[in-house]
Amino acid sequence: MVFSDFLNRVQVVPLTSKTDRLYPSEAPVAFEGKESKAMADQLATVSKSRLFNRAGVLSENDMSKVEEAVKIQLGIH
């Protein structure tokens, strides 16, 4: 069981297709077959009621990169 199962909110890391510049708290990922970047510096908490459909899934490798970017952003690296 995941801790967020008990809460009505989750943290999300937004993605963008603008990949020309990459900061330490950002991670290059492939999403829907396109080059993207995850922006951990824009980490947000949202209500689960605002989430309707799953947009897609990142590979394990890309999720590891996102986790590392989140750690850098939160200063727990």
Q: Where are the domains of the chain?
A: 3-74
pTM of the model: 0.86
77 pLDDT above the threshold of 80: no
Report pLDDT for 76. Answer: 94
Decide if 21 contacts 41 (C-beta within 8 A): no
| pLDDT value of position 1 | 39
* Top-confidence residue, 7 or 26: 26
What mean pLDDT comes out for the span 9-18?
Answer: 94
Q: Which CATH fold would you assign to the domain 3-74?
A: SH3 type barrels. (2.30.30)
Mean pLDDT along residues 7-27: 94
